[in-house]
């Protein structure tokens, strides 16, 4: 029997936590000096909320994204290093992907670069979702209601998080730069090493850390590069600036990032089992990780994301410093909403009121464990969501004026209860989207996403 050839170290340069967050050129150049086999970055997240998926807009700045892409693509093409971007434009739907592709094409023209551009689309047609729903192939994630046909029909920009398979197909087709729609974050880092025969568990776990760039280093930063070296039975993490380093604690702590269970991390087609993981300090700010395993699931499941239009938002920001008002703030706000609804009657039935009280429980709301307010001042964000922008504006204006002059018990001054830092005090925020689809869909072909190669 012929002895299997040992795999050489596979080196990955992760530039930034999200494309457009930026990175120091000094860190990038240091990474390039280590001769990476791959340059990659995750470009998106659901962290900024559903608005960006619904509106088709990027939550990162175009100039910043172009700067990051220019450095990455120019270096990759000139050195024959594959460059891979996932969740293009932030949310990874067709408008976001097109937005990012326009930037890539501009860079190719401006820098006179010639390369094969791989494109993978993540958009899922409603009829595909409805067919899967009818066949019992869609499940809700925890704390999410079961999906219904009506919810599917009213949803916009439905996408699925693709795994490594579409990236592998594009790499096999000769793509030198890949820009994909909504992607499983580690996939952009793990696809090429998996294609070359490296362990999927190690490759995906390394990708899970590198997708946040240097956030897992100490001190952490999403705007700095990180370097990963994948070996047959381990991987090594390394920072690329003198001011930060990886430690076993910082690398292990990152496993808690956005996870309810730090030992089992689900993804397309299976989950990472980190129960046997070990983090070892090997000196010079480097950490070696071993024991990561990939456990395939029964069936191949993809996460679906979709949103629906929930209304239109208006807000007003104000400050309160009267200790008497601060002591009665909950009762006052309840009374103000009741008075506004009484004045408007049926005209307010379609609107929702929110008072975000910073200095009391503005961050955690009813979950705030500290019940006694001891602040000498409070910041109040008055929010109204209505069926139209005009109605949201009108209800907000009345709410703000009622609160401004509300006569509570013990009140002495009559000039007004609120201090406004801005004029105008009311701001129309526009469309409000809510996640309507946050479910899993089983597919028979993990690489069913549409792909193509474009010659630039």
**Distance between CA 55 and CA 59 in Å, rounded?**
10
Burial class (CB in 10 A: 0-12, 13-18, 19+), 449: buried
**Distance between CA 407 and CA 398 in Å, rounded?**
15
Whether 187 contacts 207, CB under 8 Å: yes
Q: Tokens for 226?
A: 């990180």
Whether 253 contacts 292, CB under 8 Å: no
Report, as an integer, the average pLDDT of 218-228. 97
pLDDT of residue 271: 96
Whether the CA torsion 185, 210, 230, 226 is positive or negative: it is positive
The answer on pLDDT for 2 being more than 80 is no
Report, as an integer, the average pLDDT of 145-155. 97
The answer on pLDDT for 181 being more than 60 is yes
**Distance between CA 120 and CA 110 in Å, rounded?**
24
pLDDT digits (tens, 9 = 90+) for 67-114: 999 999 999 999 999 999 999 999 999 999 999 999 999 999 999 999
Q: What 3-state DSSP class applies to 210?
A: helix
The answer on pLDDT for 1 being more than 90 is no
The region of weakest confidence among 211-220, 313-322, 339-348 is: 339-348
Give the pLDDT band (50/70/90) at residue 348: confident
């Amino acid at each position: 029997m012929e002895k299997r050839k040992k795999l050489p170290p596979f080196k990955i340069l992760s530039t930034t936590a999200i494309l457009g967050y930026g990175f120091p050129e000094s860190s990038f150049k240091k990474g390039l000096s280590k001769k990476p086999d791959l340059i990659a970055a995750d470009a998106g997240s659901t962290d900024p909320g559903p608005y960006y998926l619904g509106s088709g807009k990027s939550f990162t700045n175009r100039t910043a994204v172009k700067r990051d892409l220019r450095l990455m693509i120019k270096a990759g093409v000139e050195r024959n290093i594959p460059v891979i971007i996932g969740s293009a434009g932030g949310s990874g739907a067709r408008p976001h992907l097109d937005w990012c592709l326009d930037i890539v094409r501009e860079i190719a023209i401006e820098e006179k670069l010639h390369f094969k551009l791989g494109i993978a689309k993540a958009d899922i047609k409603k009829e595909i979702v409805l067919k899967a729903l009818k066949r019992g192939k869609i499940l809700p994630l925890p704390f999410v209601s079961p999906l219904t046909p009506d919810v599917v029909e009213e949803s916009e920009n439905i996408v699925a998080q693709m795994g490594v398979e579409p990236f592998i197909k594009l790499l096999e087709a000769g793509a030198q730069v890949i820009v994909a729609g909504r992607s499983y974050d580690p996939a952009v880092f793990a696809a090429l090493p998996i294609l070359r025969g490296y362990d999927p568990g190690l490759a995906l776990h390394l990708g899970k850390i590198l997708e946040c760039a240097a956030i897992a280093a100490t001190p952490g930063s999403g705007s700095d590069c990180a370097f990963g070296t994948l070996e047959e039975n381990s991987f090594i993490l390394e920072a690329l600036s003198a001011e930060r380093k990886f430690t076993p604690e910082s690398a292990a702590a990152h496993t808690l990032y956005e996870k309810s269970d730090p030992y089992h991390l689900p993804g397309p087609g299976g989950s990472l089992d980190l129960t046997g993981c070990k983090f070892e300090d090997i000196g010079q700010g480097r950490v070696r990780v071993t024991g990561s395993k990939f456990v395939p699931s029964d069936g191949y499941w993809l996460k679906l994301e979709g949103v629906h239009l929930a209304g239109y938002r208006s807000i007003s920001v104000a400050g309160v410093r009267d200790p008497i008002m601060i002591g009665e703030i909950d009762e006052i706000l309840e009374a103000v909403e009741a008075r506004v609804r009484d004045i408007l009657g049926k005209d307010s039935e379609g609107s929702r009121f929110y008072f975000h009280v910073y200095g009391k429980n503005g961050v955690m709301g009813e979950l705030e464990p500290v019940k006694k307010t001891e602040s000498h001042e409070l910041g109040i964000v008055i929010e109204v969501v209505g069926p139209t922008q005009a109605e949201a504006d009108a209800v907000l204006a009345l709410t703000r004026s009622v609160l401004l002059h509300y006569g509570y018990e013990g009140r002495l001054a009559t000039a007004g209860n609120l201090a406004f830092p801005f004029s105008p005090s009311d701001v129309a925020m526009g469309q409000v989207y809510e996640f309507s689809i946050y479910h899993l869909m089983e597919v028979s072909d993990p690489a069913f996403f549409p792909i193509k190669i474009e010659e630039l």
